[in-house]
Amino acid sequence: MKKSFSAILLGVLVPATLWAHGPGHIHRQTDSMTADVDGHEGHDHSGHDHSGHDHSASGKSFEEPILEKDSRWWGASLTTGWESRHVHYGVDETGTYGAYTTELSVTMGNFIFGAWSGFGVGNDYQEWDFTAAYNVEIGPVFIIPGYNFRYTPGEAGHEHEGEDEHEDHSDHEHEEHHSDHEDEGHDEHAEHEHETHDAHASHEHGVYGNEIFLVLGTTAIPYVTPSAAVITNLNNTPGTFMEFRLDGEVPIVESFRLQPYALLGLNFGYNTKEYYGWNNFQFGLAANWQVNRVVSVFAGVNYSVAMTAMNEIDQGNVVWANVGVTFAY
């Protein structure tokens, strides 16, 4: 049966940090599991019945009375947590210190409004995102166009780590060549420094980013949601990123489920203009437990495999974990 988009948004329990911020958070909200608005049957995003499993926003057994959701035209959720690294479209922006993140989402009918913030732990990473989008449903197909404003007054991630490694390497290289090949070593070092600086600078997005995006997916397949997203940074033209994604839902017991996912990212000037094409392959697994009517907790582990575009900016493979709590109403 058809589910209202506000009910889907109220059923958000997927960890916020499994997706990139901005468009990725809107994407996350769409493919979450939810209940029938009358509270009598459990349904996942594909609309297939899982009676006896509680996937509603209430967190209660379906045998208990809950408020009907179809009379509400708005909903809100607050998610806060910690991640051991903050990875944005394959780029590690915090290093091993990680970050604390907070997200507030409000839905009004088919409109979605979100605010996301991240603050580094032991580094100067800082970011704010403000997102607005609109959901369109055509049968089992959903289309979500939107806009994201990204503000990054402080970044402490991959660039800084690379610069530290380069400084150590340059000192060692200088000592090796100083005795016999001082001039040649200096020239090689200067050229390497210039190339490394260009590679690191090529994936910086600036302090402000104005991004437009489009998410397209379907809920027609049981337990699995395939989707694709296109994000373009208007402040970094040409700066587009494409993502093909597959999300799963595995109910284990009442109010508890596992959520595996896998994605393939393609770079078209978003992370680097040195190479257009393969960016990263990423996969992970999250566990969600709805504690009560309002509160749910989550934990997840993720792995990003660097591909050609990431190699161009000296970004390697990354593994990270995340934990947090969501309050939904």
pLDDT digits (tens, 9 = 90+) for 134-183: 999 999 999 999 999 999 886 544 443 433 433 444 444 444 444 444 44
Residues 305 and 246 in one domain: yes
Task: For residue 243, give the nearest of 223, 262, 224, 221 by alpha carbon.
Answer: 262
Residue 173 shares a structural domain with residue 56: no
Overall domain count for the chain:
2
Quick: pLDDT tens for 273-299.
Answer: 999 999 999 999 999 999 998 999 999
In the chain the beta strands, taken as DSSP E runs, fall at 34-35, 42-43, 74-83, 87-88, 91-92, 99-108, 111-120, 126-134, 136-138, 141-154, 208-218, 224-233, 240-248, 250-253, 256-268, 277-290, 295-306, 318-328
- Judgement on whether residues 99 and 227 belong to the same structural domain of the protein: yes
Q: Return the CATH number at 35.
A: 2.40.160.40
Same domain, 146 and 220: yes
> Are residue 84 and residue 197 in the same domain, yes or no?
no
Q: For strand 111-120 and strand 99-108, is the pairing parallel, antiparallel, or unpaired?
A: antiparallel
0.85 surpassed by pTM: no
SS3 244: strand
Structural domain range at position 187: 160-201
- 327 forms beta bridges with 78, 295
Which of 302, 285, 301 lies closest to 250, judged by CA? 285
- What pLDDT, in 10s, does the model give residues 34-85? 333 333 333 333 333 333 333 322 222 223 333 344 467 899 999 999 999 9
Specify whether 188 is located in the same domain as 111.
no
Number of Cβ within a 10 Å radius of residue 240? 19
Q: Convert the pLDDT of each residue in 100-126 to its tens digit.
A: 999 999 999 999 999 999 999 988 899
Largest CA distance in the chain: 83
